[in-house]
Amino acid sequence: MWVTTWLSPQKTKEFFTPDRKFQHLKVPYILAHKHDYIYHFDINDIKSRFELLELDELWRICSWGQKYRSLLECRRALSLSYERLQVKDEYYEEEIQPQIDSVELVADATEWLSMKYKDEKQDSLPEFHFHDDDEPDQAMERCKTPSHIFAYEVTKKSIISKLAEKFGIQPHQVVLNFLASHHVHFVDDEDLNPVACAEQFADVDPAKAQAPEELLKDPLLHNHIHKNFKEDARVMVEPTGHGITKVDKNHSYFNFKYLLQKPIANMLDSAQFLHILATKTEHLVTVDISMAPEVKCNLFRQFQ
């Protein structure tokens, strides 16, 4: 939860509105010259003082502030990009946009919009650029090479997309069912027999691939999987052929020479994972990070 949710309306008005007070003060300067910011002094005893913020807490607040400002800028850029598309997407406006609370989710939402509205951004908005767009090369104007077109884009533009729409449920509805852990949207089957409906199209396989591609890029699904991975991931470490002899019981990294399914949540309060990465860089161990089988089963079960 962002620190601003704990601030009083007065402090929010003073520091987080467009006409806010703003001072370019760095942590070392505050620590050296602004003692009244981090200490409480007793007017009855000028020699006594109560420390309100420690140095590490001050740096932590600084880091939070930088992340918060970065998020605001990214969200503002994403909102401007969506407005330039000149489209109305209820799923994005009602479900995705209100839940964007991290830079990673902004990136996922940007990629999702890029995939879904590729035609709109190219045809009606030539000045609108996504992160995956190539910069124009003037030297290649007279000799243009074919652009890389994903199978999803080809399918989306073809008549096969009509068959994908007849599957009875939209990809974003599958995601909402998954997040709700129960069915809030149900399959609406076509009146026509499925086989007869599919026979109207030359190739059914591309249609089958379109919906999974949209699921793969869905920001809310990405965010949910990321959160589960951060909470329930397991780390396994095994020595390489060189590491078996190099990392002996006197080695500083011996305590994780063999590590079996250690929860990553138990590694957040120590530097062990950094040591593991350093050992991996030296080619002494191999590292595997995965989700516990029961967590995977629960995720798959939610899709059913």
Query: CA 248, CA 26: separation in Å to the nearest integer?
Result: 45
One-letter amino acid of 35: H
Rounded to 5°, angle at Cα 100 from 153 and 11: 155
Sheet holding 233-239, edge to edge: 259-263, 233-239, 285-291
Q: Give the pTM.
A: 0.57
| DSSP reduced 3-state for 288 | strand
Q: What are phi and psi of 203, to 5 degrees?
A: -135, 120
Q: Cβ distance 240 to 283 under 8 Å?
A: yes
Instruction: For the chain, 304 residues long, give each residue's pLDDT as a single digit of tens.
Output: 455 566 667 766 666 666 666 667 788 888 787 877 777 877 777 777 777 888 888 888 888 888 888 888 899 999 998 998 888 888 899 989 988 888 889 999 998 888 888 766 554 333 434 444 455 444 334 334 334 445 666 566 665 566 656 666 777 777 787 778 667 776 666 666 656 665 655 555 655 666 677 777 888 888 888 888 888 889 999 999 888 888 888 888 888 889 998 988 888 888 889 999 999 999 999 999 988 888 888 877 776 6
Distances (CA, A) of 254 to 138, 241, 248, 258: 56, 15, 6, 8
One-letter amino acid of 233: A
